[in-house]
Amino acid sequence: MINIVLFGPPGSGKGTQAQHLIEKYNLKQISTGDLFRFNMKNDTPLGQLAKSYIDKGELVPDQVTIDMLVHEVKKPTDTAGFIFDGFPRTAGQTEALEQIVNEVLGAPISICLSLVVEDEALVQRLLKRGETSGRTDDSNEEIIRNRIKEYYAKTAEVAELYKQQGKYVEVNGVGSIEEISEKLFAEVDKIQK
């Protein structure tokens, strides 16, 4: 089983690269951002709660996010593993994920792939995406900068935890989509050998 944590600031291309990794390794993607957006679109109680944080570019509280993730991991699937996109974002979520994958899947996190893109490029990419995505959190530069700031403030400790386990790999997220995918595949292939 391959369980990948895909790491990277908003706008680093996580979603696109997750798609390529899914196809290549037959994985199920769990994107906490997508799950929150689905709930907001359907105006569920979870969506209403998440919206109050997401609209400000803040993180949704850990317990709410973890409960949603557990529910998703427990759903039956015939894939060869999972790709966690946008989760974990805090040390608490990292510990929870470790426990969830061990208990529910009986397998550890294999690798944490981190896409690296500098801040100004991220802001420009997100503003551009905001022109068509319809996402309120993509349309305002101040909110975008806050999301990037939140990402680094909270996720530095997540990177540290995976570094300590020797599972953290940085990949340059600037270049053609295919080039970046190839670099990610090479890292996954290394751990499968």
My answer on whether omega of the bond before 88 falls inside 30° of 0, hence cis, is: yes
Compare residues 59 and 188 and give the one whose CB is closer to ligand AMP.
59
The reply to whether 112 sits near ligand AMP by the rule CB under 6 A is no
Site for ligand AMP in 11-70 (CB under 6 A): 32-33, 36, 53-54, 57-60, 65
Q: Count the site residues for ligand AMP by CB under 6 A.
A: 17
Closest CA to 84 of 135, 151, 133, 27: 27
The reply to whether 87 sits near ligand AMP by the rule CB under 6 A is yes
Compare residues 3 and 93 and give the one whose CB is closer to ligand AMP.
93
Strands 111-116 vs 81-85: parallel, antiparallel or unpaired: unpaired
The beta strands (E) that lie in 106-188 are given as 111-116, 168-172
Strands 111-116 vs 168-172: parallel, antiparallel or unpaired: parallel
DSSP string covering 107-121, please?
----EEEEEE--HHH
Q: Sort 65 into a burial class: Cβ within 10 Å, 0-12 / 13-18 / 19+.
A: buried
Give min distance, CB of 189 to ligand AMP, in A.
Answer: 26
Site for ligand AMP in 147-186 (CB under 6 A): 147
Compare residues 2 and 35 and give the one whose CB is closer to ligand AMP.
35
The reply to whether 82 sits near ligand AMP by the rule CB under 6 A is no
Give min distance, CB of 151 to ligand AMP, in A.
Answer: 8
The reply to whether 73 sits near ligand AMP by the rule CB under 6 A is no
- Which residues are part of the catalytic machinery? 14, 89, 129, 135, 147
Closest CA to 88 of 143, 162, 190, 11: 162
Which residues of the chain form contacts with ligand AMP (CB under 6 A)?
10, 32-33, 36, 53-54, 57-60, 65, 86-87, 89, 93, 137, 147
